[in-house]
Structure 1
Amino acid sequence: MDKTKFWNLIEQSRRSGEQAEWLLEKLSQESLEDVLDFEWILQGLMQESYQSRLWGAAYVLMGGCSDDTFDYFRGWLIGQGETVYERVVNDPEYLAEYIDEDNLDDEGYPQNEELISAGADAYTLIKTGDTEWDDEAYDELLDQLAGRGLPAEPEIEFDWEEDDLEEMFPKLWERFGEEPLG
């Protein structure tokens, strides 16, 4: 699987209504190698989007943003498709224009925790016949990704403090600063 196929799957899954479930079903019908490719690309995008500036934008949107919430936000961002992902990674202020109630989760947040585990769940399903957590299958997946050269998640140094966010993100602040999502 290459990035084109990856993004095609993301686009198709967006139309399904239950994005992560659709991806799990589709990926579990693919070869183990394709599932590894999917997970490799997903993890690469998660690492690419692990940016201080993007975290600051998520903080404004939701009135705060823990490390887990930032992971789920990046899962949501990838789930919006290649065009939106690239635009937001390059200009987080685009979120002020892009976000509406139709692209948020059921609680009104830009989060998709399930999407970031779809590849690992499909790998486990193929290996064990079940999606229940399996330490052995997960460790094997991590070993496979490490064998392909996937680096550890980079360290992040924040280049902002909460008081800086209004000035850093004037469009986001105008729309969400006083009334964050949720």
Structure 2
Amino acid sequence: MDVDQFWAVVDGARAQAGGDWSAVPEFVTDALARRPLADIADFAQIQDELEWAAYREDLLTACRLINAGFGSDDGFLYFRDWLLVQGRAAFEAALANPDSLLDVPGVSAMDPVADDCFADCEDFLYVANEAWRRVTGAPELSSSVDKRGHVSLDPDEVDGLEEELERRGYEARRDEPLPLAGEPIAFKDRDAVFAALPRLSARFYDQVRGSRRRLMREP
């Protein structure tokens, strides 16, 4: 599988989902589970490479603008996978100009604190692992959930997909604390944020501040 085939799977799943991006991971998993294991490993590797391509200061700032100021390591990863499930055109447009995210359907109307609907898609992280499990018949790996709701797999168990990527000499970067690409953007510096992302800032910057004030008032 190459990058064009990767996007064909994602965009095909989007067509099946009928505009509901939250349904895309399940359709992608179903599609991958009908393919050879080598294709599933290719998909996982390309996904990690694309997540890495979006590991940038300006896209982190876009994440924080859209998602009410939130942008932890996990939150930014889930945002980048949300960006992937928006399809190739939206993803590549965002790499060229993150302000284009305002044109993604539904984004301009988002108010995550009020609606509890964030631009994140954690489920997409696991599509290749789940497809691999379905094809091989391997049992699900043990997992635990911490106080923040973050799911961790048992480090003493080895996923067959992970073994295959290691055999290829590929090391996934999604969990590595590496420096972001690009010049840092101080989110508290209104002028800097507006200079970097004028359209997203005009729509969300003041909303983020209002959302933060609402959260501080909640018991």
TM-score range for the pair, normalised by the shorter chain length:
0.7 to 0.9
Higher deviation after alignment, 104-113 or 34-43: 104-113
Q: Does 1:34 align with 2:39?
A: yes
The answer (yes or no) to whether the contact 2:45–2:172 under 8 Å persists in 1 is: no
CA, structure 1 residues 101+170, in 2 after alignment: closer, same or farther (shift >3 Å)? closer
The answer (yes or no) to whether the contact 1:49–1:74 under 8 Å persists in 2 is: yes
CA, structure 1 residues 152+3, in 2 after alignment: closer, same or farther (shift >3 Å)? closer
TM-score, scaled relative to structure 1? 0.85
CA displacement at 1:152 relative to structure 2: 4.6
Q: Secondary structure at the match of 1:160?
A: coil
CA, structure 1 residues 108+142, in 2 after alignment: closer, same or farther (shift >3 Å)? same
Which residue of the other structure, out of 104, 122, 139, is the alignment partner of 2:131?
A: 122
CA–CA distance in structure 1, aligned partners of residues 84 and 74 of structure 2: 15
CA–CA distance in structure 2, aligned partners of residues 115 and 102 of structure 1: 23
Task: Report what 1:133 is aligned to.
Answer: 141
Which residue of the other structure, out of 205, 211, 217, is the alignment partner of 1:177?
A: 205
> Which structure's relative contact order is higher, taking Cα pairs within 8 Å and 6+ residues apart?
1
CA displacement at 1:123 relative to structure 2: 1.1
Task: Report what 1:24 is aligned to.
Answer: 29
Residue type of the partner of 1:53? Answer: D
Q: Does 1:147 align with 2:167?
A: yes
CA–CA distance in structure 1, aligned partners of residues 25 and 109 of structure 2: 14
CA displacement at 1:141 relative to structure 2: 1.8
Q: Deviations over 1:79-134 (max 9, x none)?
A: 1111111110121111123342699898432211111210111112222355x326
CA–CA distance in structure 2, aligned partners of residues 133 and 25 of structure 1: 19
Task: Report what 2:4 is aligned to.
Answer: 4
Residue type of the partner of 1:167? Answer: A
CA–CA distance in structure 2, aligned partners of residues 99 and 57 of structure 1: 16
CA–CA distance in structure 2, aligned partners of residues 150 and 4 of structure 1: 20
TM-score, scaled relative to structure 2? 0.72
Which residue of the other structure, out of 122, 132, 154, is the alignment partner of 1:113?
A: 122
Q: Secondary structure at the match of 1:16?
A: helix
In structure 2, list runs of 5 or more residues that go unmatched. 18-22, 143-153, 212-219
The answer (yes or no) to whether the contact 2:102–2:108 under 8 Å persists in 1 is: no
Moved segments of 4+, more than 3 Å:
101-107, 134-137
Instruction: Provide the aligned C-alpha RMSD in A.
Output: 2.6
Q: Deviations over 1:9-31 (max 9, x none)?
A: 10111122221111111211211
Structure number with larger C-alpha Rg: 2
Give the total of aligned pairs.
179
- Percent identity among equivalent residues? 26
Instruction: Identify, as 1 or 2, the structure richer in helix.
Output: 1
Q: How does 1:35-54 map to 2 (within 5 A)?
A: 35-54=40-59
CA, structure 1 residues 110+118, in 2 after alignment: closer, same or farther (shift >3 Å)? same
Q: Deviations over 1:4-59 (max 9, x none)?
A: 11111101111222211111112112111111111111111111111121111111
The answer (yes or no) to whether the contact 1:101–1:108 under 8 Å persists in 2 is: no
Task: Report what 1:160 is aligned to.
Answer: 185
Q: Secondary structure at the match of 2:16?
A: coil
